[in-house]
Chains A and B, each alone.
Chain A
Amino acid sequence: MSEHDPATRNGAMTRRGFIKGALGGGALTAITAYEVFAIQPEPATGEKLPPPTGPTSTLSSADDQTDVLERMRVELLRALDKPRADRRWVMVIDLRKCVGCHACTIACVSENKLPPGVVYRPVIEEEFGTYPNVGRRFIPRPCMQCDNPPCVPVCPVSATYKNEDGVVVVDYPECIGCRACLTACPYSARTADFGLTYTQDAPLAAGLIAGRDAGAAYEKASNFEYGTEWPREGHESPIGNARKCHFCLHRITAGELPACVTTCIGRATLFGDANDPTSLVAGLIARPNVTRLKQELGTEPRVYYLT
């Protein structure tokens, strides 16, 4: 990493200090974070770039030198160093930045190998107004990870519950598949796995074309929800279970942001530890333009929307 020793670059010192402080230095993670986060692009000449006219500051302001994705990842690593009960994972979705691309939906489907009929994070589209004064809005809907989740008490075997990180999880092997939680969820955030696959009816046509077996490769591959390997075979869980967004606990634990967050091309979906006052999300949920879905039900969602 000597190629880009920050000491030789202006502005970097302070940042290094910040990172050090934030990550207690030392840790491998800290170095990674530092590597990726602290790098300052070197201006063509010795001094800083002059600010372009007007409000555009992308080229000049140091804070813009890192994608929010990297900022959030560094904050994630920081949060992972805390006792689990001290973290408060929240998701913030900036509807002004959501462009309705549905990348998050598909990223989630791919990450968790969701079969037909199962979806954790649809993006709802709305059109309003009359020509030529028209409006369109796009509303992603993950699980709200309610702090008062109606889906939990109705489970006859407590297979679903809020874990210590405050994430509402489904313990697949415990779930009997009664779908009471589906009915109870006011956000339709749960769907049931009926054991289908997208390629199940494709022709086998061995030798003539790739055929079903080759075509099913990615679908049959295991997913790693909750940090456990779940091959898709027979009638084994998660088939027959209720399924839902789990804030990608398996990725978080591995120091990787949730799949829907990393692929958000609008940078509209933000994630982090609200208990960390310096975190991006902590700042955002204190804004006046924050709202939550169906708050009146008292579910206390952990997903916040900026409007």
Chain B
Amino acid sequence: MTTTRRVLYVLAILAVVLGIYGFGSRLLFGERDVHYGSYVNWGLWVAMYLFFAGMAAGSFMVASLDYVFDIPLFRNTGRYALWATVVTLPGALILIGFDLGHMERIWKVYLQPNFTSLLAQLVWTYSTFLVVAVIALVIAMRGTRTALKPVMVVGLAIAIFVSGGVGALLGVNAARVSFQNAMLPAQFPVLNLASGIALLLVMVGFFGVLADPERRIRLVRVLSLTLVALLGVKAYFLWVDYSQALYGQTQEAVAVAGQVLFGPYAWAFWVLQIGLGVVVPAIVLLMASTSRRPPLAALMGVFVLVGLAVGRTSIIFPALAFPEFDGLTEAFTGPHLGLDYEPSLMEWSVTLGVVGLSTLAYLIGTDRLPYFKRTPEVAS
């Protein structure tokens, strides 16, 4: 086992251990110890749910490069990407499940759904997506590519839909001007693809994935350039969003944008999302030499993922932190009625736990499953 793997195992297990407190508190005392509330009613968990779901969808898209479009360069990456989908998606579902006041009633969404509700639509499509992904995985494990393709196509369609849906989930809220952004639904598929690519870059960069070192370098190069391109698009989106907002009409949009760009958490935006998430990776990945140092490229992939994760939070928190009426928070005060939100220890703990579980699942799977043992068949 490579040192990277060992380190990852340790970190993942550590994360899971740290997660135990959060899981325990949530299961025993419900939402007593959370910090999100009634005005900022979606917190870290929802943001991370979006992020995980994004990775899952993105990875599936990436997998299709191998399993659907048979792009030679991507041959063999498919199974890793597909596996990534299968380990991240449950993480997403745990996070959103914990966010419910009555988790135990989740079944109602299946038995008595209200399909005008995007949430219902998403739960359903994500569930279908999970099923399809698993089927695809099973078939792929059997190695019968012919049967795999149609399943993958369906999955791909769903992957794109869920990506759009998430954006819409926010978009439909007439209440929230800063969600009223035609671009949101369009943005998510792109961002998700980016996270998928980044994830693959990480896998390839850290764990080889490909036997042939030459192809690996080429792949890293291609992934790097694609990622840079997508980062370019992401940067464009951000610019459009906030410039629109700032020159924009409503005082709320301005306030929200201001919050993100110059508010107390501006550092997260500039340092993590822009600096770490875009500028640094872009520069490093553009350098041809980088592809000769796959681990470095992989690290950049990690940076990009972090940037994307932070991006999710800056879409949600500031928008909710803007009061519907001035003076509302003074009119009646109390726990969960504040506008400044910082995730509680318990929320962090749960999030960490989920990250740990997914990573662990990924590692164990790639280690133990015969699927990853078989030497890749050579292209005819």
Contacts and interface: CB of A to CB of B under 8 A. Distances in A.
**Contact between A and B in the complex (any CB pair below 8 Å):** yes
Interface string B86-99: 00000000000001
Interface stretch (B68-76, B143-151, B277-285, B332-340): B332-340
A117 B329 CA distance: 11
Interface of B: 29-32, 34, 37-39, 41-42, 99-103, 105-106, 108-109, 112-114, 116-120, 123, 172-176, 320, 323-328, 330-332, 334-337
Contacts of B324: 185-188
A284 to B, nearest CB: 23
B24 to A, nearest CB: 15
Contact of B117 (A105, A156, A185, A235): A156
A237 B100 CA distance: 13
A176 interface: yes
The residue among A105, A119, A150 with the most chain B CB atoms within 10 A of its own CB is A119
A97 interface: no
Interface string A167-205: 000000011111110111111101111111000000000
Contacts of B335: 116-117, 194, 196
A116 B106 CA distance: 26
Nearest to B124: A156
A111 B123 CA distance: 36
B117 A183 contact: no
B101 A192 contact: yes
A32 interface: no
A193 B337 CA distance: 11
Contacts of A259: none
Given A118-B334, A122-B328, A191-B38, 19 more contacts: A105-B332, A116-B336, A117-B37, A117-B337, A141-B325, A154-B117, A154-B172, A175-B101, A177-B100, A177-B101, A183-B175, A183-B320, A184-B175, A188-B38, A192-B41, A195-B32, A237-B102, A240-B100, A241-B101
A79 interface: no
A240 B29 CA distance: 11
B117 A193 contact: no
12 contacts: A126-B327, A153-B117, A156-B117, A157-B109, A176-B102, A177-B101, A186-B174, A188-B323, A190-B38, A192-B37, A194-B31, A239-B30
A95 to B, nearest CB: 14
Nearest to B38: A191
Q: Which 9 A-B pairs have the closest CB atoms?
A: A177-B101, A240-B101, A122-B331, A191-B38, A117-B336, A156-B120, A186-B175, A122-B332, A156-B119
Contacts of B327: 124-126
A141 B328 CA distance: 9
A118 B109 CA distance: 25
B101 A174 contact: no
A110 interface: no
Interface of A is mostly: loop
Contacts of A180: 117, 119
A180 B46 CA distance: 11
Contacts of A193: 101
A183 B42 CA distance: 8
B102 A241 contact: yes
A157 B104 CA distance: 13
A124 B101 CA distance: 28
Given A175-B102, A182-B38, A158 B114 contact: yes
Contact of A156 (B123, B334, B336): B123
A261 B83 CA distance: 60
Given A117-B336, A174-B108, A184 B172 contact: yes
Contacts of B100: 176-178, 240
A134 interface: no
Contacts of A297: 174-175
A241 B103 CA distance: 11
B53 to A, nearest CB: 15
B39 to A, nearest CB: 6
Contacts of B99: 178-179
A112 B314 CA distance: 36
Contacts of A183: 41-42, 173, 175-176, 320
A155 B38 contact: no
Interface in A126-159: 126, 139, 141, 150, 153-159
A123 interface: yes
Nearest to A198: B334
A188 B176 CA distance: 11
A276 B29 CA distance: 48
Nearest to A161: B114
Nearest to A297: B174
Contacts of B39: 188
A157 B120 contact: yes
Contact of B116 (A126, A153, A235, A242): A153
B255 to A, nearest CB: 16
A150 B332 contact: no
A195 B31 contact: yes
Nearest to B33: A194
A118 B38 contact: yes
The residue among A105, A123, A157, A193 with the most chain B CB atoms within 10 A of its own CB is A157
B119 A178 contact: yes
Contacts of B330: 124-125
Given A105-B332, A176-B106, A186-B175, A156 B113 contact: yes
A157 B110 CA distance: 9
A3 to B, nearest CB: 45
Nearest to A180: B119
A182 B101 CA distance: 13
A287 B233 CA distance: 53
Contacts of B323: 188
B328 A194 contact: no
A275 B108 CA distance: 37
A299 B101 CA distance: 27
